[in-house]
Amino acid sequence: MITLDNQTNIEININILEKISKTDKEIELVIVDNKTMQTINFEQREVDKTTDVLSFPLEDFPHFPLGSIVINSDLATIKAKELGHDFKDEITLMFIHGLLHVKGYDHECDNGEMRKEEEKLIKEFNLPKSLIIRTDS
């Protein structure tokens, strides 16, 4: 189940995101703009710049939600145009990346497991392969 906190005026298709999540645990999805994302990034990570997606897992608490995913709608718009695909697909790709982080994957220290899961979901839901290309760089 996804609880949506959409702080923008964009439309989000929760149905596809719930199919992708494959969990009965609650996931908080927050959609924000560049400025808000920069504030969250600084407050939570002490990094004073914006980013595309942040994840906050709660895996240590079995009866709590799975975690929170924050997506930057401004960067999603830019990236979708840059890579030539639909904005909704870009939001979905960012959601997949955040979802895997809240499920415990970490591309910065694993042996490619997160990338393999991303590839699997991208193929299963017929999404653009741009996320795979980005994680290869």
Ordered DSSP codes for the chain: -EEEEE-SS----HHHHHHHH--SS-EEEEEE-HHHHHHHHHHHH---S--SEEEEE-TT-TTS-SEEEEEEHHHHHHHHHHHTS-HHHHHHHHHHHHHHHHTT--TTTSSSHHHHHHHHHHHHTT--THHHHHHH-
**pLDDT tens by residue, the chain, 137 residues:** 899 999 998 888 899 999 999 888 889 999 999 999 999 999 999 999 999 999 998 866 667 788 899 999 999 999 989 888 889 999 999 999 999 998 888 877 788 788 888 889 999 998 887 665 555 44
Report the DSSP beta bridge partners of residue 68.
Answer: 28, 56
Considering the entire predicted model, what is its pTM? 0.87
Is 2-136 a CATH 3.40.390.30 domain? Answer: yes
Q: Which two tokens stand for residue 54?
A: 């942040």
